[in-house]
Chain A
Amino acid sequence: MTPIENEGESHRTVLISAEDISIKFGRRPILDKVSIKIHRCEIVTLIGLNGAGKSTLVRAILGLSHLFAGKVSQMNGIRIGYVPQHINRDSILPMTVKRFLRLGGPASREGLETVMEEVGAGAILDTAVSSISGGELNRILLARALLRRPNLLVLDEPFSSVDASGKIELYGLVELIRDRHQCGVLVVSHDLHFVLTGSDSLICLGKNDYCSGGPKDIVSHPLFRDIFGYQLSEQFLLSRRELETKK
C-alpha cells in the first residue's frame, strides 16, 4: 500500500486508487490490469457477471488479497468502513447487537443509539445477533461501519436479503450517508435502479475486460449491454428521460 497525500476536504481528493492490478488464483487469472479511483463524496458502483472478480477487486482495494501485479494506494489517514455480504452469525456464539457493534471499537450507549437511529434499525441493541432479520443485519453491519467514522465506505452486495422497497430505502440511505459524512463509497450492486440513478461512476467487469465511466457514458458500452441487456439500457434511457421531464 502506497500512501496518497491527504488534500483535506476537497471533493477531488483521491481516497484510494488501484493501478493496473492483476490477481491470479493459482494459474487462473481473475483480474487483469484493472484500474479504479475513488474520490471523496463519490459513489462508485461495481457491477459485473458472476465470477468476473467483483469480490476479488473489493478485497484487493481493502488490502486483503495478494496482488500479482499493479499497486493499490490509499490516502493518508484513510478510515475504511466495510460492510461485507454476510457474516458468521449462527447461534453458537452468543452475542447481542450491542456487543457486536462494540467489536469494531469502544462506543458509548448514546453513540450506539444515535447510529442505530441513523441506519433506521429499531430498538434491537439488546437482541441476539442470531435472531434478527436479514434486513436488520444489513443495517447493523452498516452501523458498525459508520461507527468507525469512515471516509471510505465499502459495501459488497450490501442489501441482498432485503425486498425491493427496502432496497430503494437503503440505497437512499447510502446517498444520505455520503452527503452527511462526506465519504467516498464503493458499492457492489446488481440493482439496476440504483446503479443508474445513484452512482456517480461505474465499473463494469466482464470475463476478460472491463469498462468504466459515468452512468450516461457507460450505457452505450458493449460490455455493459452484454451484462444488462439491450432492453435494460433502453429502460434506463426511459427512466432517465422521465427524471429529466420531472425536473
Chain B
Amino acid sequence: MSNFYSVGVNWKQKNDINFIDDNNDGFSRRARIVTELLDDFFVRAMIGGIGAAIVAGPVGCFVVWRRMSYFGTTLAHSVLLGVALGFLLDIELIFAVFIVCMLVSSFLLLLERQRYLSVDALLGVLAHAVFAAGIVVVSFMETLRIDLMGYLFGDILSVSQTDITWIFVTASISLGLLIWHWRSLLSFTVDQDLAAVEGVPVNYMRALVVLLVSGVVAVGMKIVGILLVVSLIIIPAAAARRMSVTPEKMAIMAAIVGVISVVLGLFSSLEFDVPAGPAISLAATAIFALSFIIPTRFISR
C-alpha cells in the first residue's frame, strides 16, 4: 500500500534525499538551521498544510452556513482545467487554478438567471463538464507528463518553498478580507434583504464569498488534492459547530480543528506509511465524529 497510485512519495526515498548537502559553511548557524528545516519536505508539508487549514476553516464556515458545499465541489473539479491551462500558458499553477475557479463561478452566476433548472442541477452539470474538460486537455499534453494522481489525491509531501509562499500570501489576503468584512458577511449570510436595507453591498459580498472559496480551493488542492479539497473546507467547520455558540468561535475552532487534522494526518502518514492527503481528511473526520460524542455541556459554553 505504500505507493498507492504513487500518491505522495515513499518516505524512505525522500529521507535519503534530505540532509545530503550540508556543507554551506557561509551561512550562520541559525540561517543554516532554517534552511535545513525548510529543506526537509516534512517540515514544508507541515507549514503548507497548516497555512491552508488556517484559512480553510473560517471560509469553510461560510460554505457550511450558506449551504455551498456542492459549489465548493464544483470549483474543486475545475482545478484540473486550471492546472492544464497553467502548464499551457506557463503561469503559476495556483494563479491559473484561481482564475479558472473565478471563470466557472461567473458562468454559474449567468446560468442561475434562467429558471428551468435548480442551482443544484446546474452545479451537477458544470462540475463534471469542467472536470471532463480538464482530463481531456491534460491528455493532449502527454509530453508534459502531468502527475494526474498527484493532483487528484494531493501531493503535500512535494510542497515547495514557492508553494508555501503562495499558500501564505493567499491565506493572508483571504483572512484579511474575511476579518475586514466580517460583520457584513455575517449579516449577508443571515438575510440578504435585511443586510441590503442596512447598507451592506450584497452583490460585493456574494462575489467575495466566491473569491474566498476559490482561493482556498486553489491552495488546498496542493495539500489534499482535487477530490478531497472540499473535505479540508467542510469537515473542520462541521466539527466546530457543536463546540461553538457564536459565529466567531466557530470560525476560530474550525481553523484549530483544521490545523490539528493536518498535524495528526501528517504524523500518522509518517507512522503508518499511508498517503498524507487522505490521512488529513480522515483525521478531520475523526475529530468531527468526536465532536458528536462529547456531551454538549462540556463544549458549548
Chain A positions within 8 Å of B, measured between CB atoms, are 59, 62-64, 80, 82, 84, 87-89, 92-96, 99-100, 103-105, 128, 144, 148, 154
Interface SS, B side? helix
Least distance between A103 CB and chain B CB atoms (Å): 4
Chain B interface category by residue count: 20 to 34
Q: For B198, what are the chain A residues with a Cβ–Cβ distance below 8 Å? A: 82, 104-105, 148
Looking at A87, A93, A104, A154, which has the most chain B CB atoms within 10 Å of its CB?
A93
Do A128 and B194 contact each other (CB < 8 Å), given the known contacts A92-B65, A93-B65, A103-B186?
A: no
- Report, nearest first, the 4 A-B pairs whose CB atoms are least far apart: A82-B197, A87-B191, A103-B187, A93-B65
Interface pair A99/B197, CB less than 8 Å apart: no
Please measure, in the bound complex, the distance between the C-alpha atom of A95 and the C-alpha atom of B183, giving whole angstroms: 13
Instruction: Flag B20-38 by CB within 8 Å of A: 1 or 0 each.
Output: 0000000000000000000
| Chain A: CB-nearest residue to B248 | A99
Q: Whole-angstrom distance between the alpha carbons of A79 and B252 in the complex?
A: 34
Q: Is B286 an interface residue (CB 8 A)?
A: no
Most buried by A among B186, B194, B246, B249: B194
CA distance A80 to B191 in the complex (A): 16
Are B193 and A95 within 8 A (Cβ)? no
CB distance from A243 to the nearest CB of B (A): 35
Residues in B neighbouring A105, C-beta threshold 8 A = 198
Chain B residues engaging chain A, CB cutoff 8 angstroms: 64-65, 67, 183, 186-187, 189-191, 193-194, 196-198, 241, 244-247, 249-250
A to B CB contacts below 8 Å, 29 in the list:
A59-B193, A62-B193, A62-B196, A62-B197, A82-B197, A84-B191, A84-B193, A87-B190, A87-B191, A88-B189, A88-B191, A89-B190, A92-B67, A92-B241, A93-B65, A93-B189, A94-B241, A94-B244, A94-B250, A95-B190, A95-B247, A96-B245, A96-B246, A99-B247, A103-B186, A104-B198, A128-B245, A144-B194, A148-B198
Please give me the residue from chain A that is nearest to B188 by CB atom: A103
A-B pairs under 8 A by CB, number:
58
Q: State whether A93 touches B193 (Cβ < 8 A).
A: no
Chain A interface helix/strand/loop/mixed:
loop
User: B191–A93 contact, CB under 8 A?
Assistant: no
Contact A64 B197 (CB under 8 A): yes
**B-chain residues with CB within 8 Å of residue A88 when the two chains form the complex:** 189-191
> Which residues of A lie under 8 Å from residue B193 when comparing CB positions?
59, 62, 64, 82, 84
A62-B197, A87-B194 known; A104-B246 Cβ under 8 A: no
Q: Which residues of A contact B197 (CB under 8 A)?
A: 62-64, 80, 82, 154
Residues of chain A with a CB closer than 8 A to B186's CB: 103
Q: Is the CB of B64 within 8 A of A92?
A: yes
